Amino acid sequence: MKTLHYSIIAILSVVIFSSSSIALAQHVPFTLIQAPLKQFKDGTIAHDVHCNSGLQLVLKAEYYTPACVKPETASKLVQRGWALDTTLPEPFVNKIAINGLQQNYTIGQPISATVTYSGYYWYTEPDVKILDANGTQIWFNCAYCYARTEPIPSPALEPFTYIVRDYSSNKLPAINKTGTYTMIASLENKTASAEFTIVKPLTPLASFEPCDTPYPQPDTGVAVLYMPVNSVGKVCVRYYNPNDTPTRIFGIRFFDPNNSNQNATGITTWNDIGNNYTIPKGGSTVVYWIKTGNQTGFYGMDLFCGETPFAVGYDNNSRIVSSDFSWLGGTYNCPMQTYQFHIDSMAGIGVRHIQYP
């Protein structure tokens, strides 16, 4: 027997065994095949998954994931409905549902909801529309008006979640007429629907009024925004994105007067674009709602990097001076800004100018 030098290396760059001196009578081919689910998660289409010698590929009927079984077992699983042969319609959504939709919304209130869906599918966002009681379409997310999300690199195993919003503006839907409405979400072969009602607000809140108070830019001093305690107002911010692709924005936050890194307690915010926080190319306006608590105080309002003084429980007749905002005039290390913005107008919020420095 002649001693030769061999290195046996399995496919997929997995070294099974290596020796500098092995006595072999003949060369025996060796192939390592990954588990079917591992191949699937790595991007192999289910019916193209490879099985080890002596096993047959089947697809589980529930989620169309691959499995390798003995031929006699495969026929039994297909007969029982547990498995399919490898003929699979593509794409195929197994489940779709509308979540988070409230029973009632007031006139003009952003309608927050999500659509979850799963199955053997390469990620694409669903079409969503809202119909009135007569079946007339009054809102559509305009699925093909704006660039869709790019497909993910492997078929769906976990449920996808889509925030219901307008594709062209990223804003949540809002309806200005009372009545009963139906939201319908559809994707390929599946459809889900849910009803909700638009009602009048009990009291005319500033949060349902347009941003009709222009934001004045002082020539000298500094502007201070103020609101009463336990009230709701809103700020309309005008953005401009010069980039060819959607750009993520910072949003809005309120920070503690003694620590600009700590968010203020007692002030809550929400907006009309949900949690997506991206704006398309060009100009767009984002509406931020602000709700104060029952505690008076001085805070900072941050829209990117550089803060605006904000007072709760004070008005235009109150004594407010620059020293009430200890952080005013500080130095900040700001990241590169990829978009432009300015406060355009407000509702339910007052503005006064104080001397600075």
Evaluate if residue 144 carries a pLDDT over 70: no
Q: Contact, 216 vs 223, CB < 8 A? A: yes
Contact 165, 216 (CB under 8 A): no
CA pseudo-torsion sign 47, 51, 57, 63: negative
* Residue 36 parent element (H or E): helix 36-41
AA identity, residue 111: I
What global pTM score does this model have?
0.53
Measured over all CA atoms, what is the biggest interatomic distance in the chain, rounded to whole angstroms?
105
Q: With contact defined as beta carbons under 8 Å apart, do 159 and 118 qualify?
A: yes
pLDDT digits (tens, 9 = 90+) for 85-127: 666 556 677 789 999 998 988 888 889 899 998 875 666 788 9
Cβ atoms 130, 183 nearer than 8 A: yes
| Tokens standing for residue 145 | 């008006």
**Which domains occur in the chain, in start order?**
1-32 (no CATH), 43-88 (no CATH), 93-199 (2.60.40.1930), 206-354 (no CATH)
Radius of gyration of the chain (CA): 30
Query: Do residues 210 and 339 touch, judged by C-beta distance below 8 A?
Result: no
Query: What's the average model confidence in pLDDT over 193-220?
Result: 76
The whole-number average pLDDT for the span 62-69 is: 80
Q: Which residue carries 């924005």 as its tokens?
A: 249
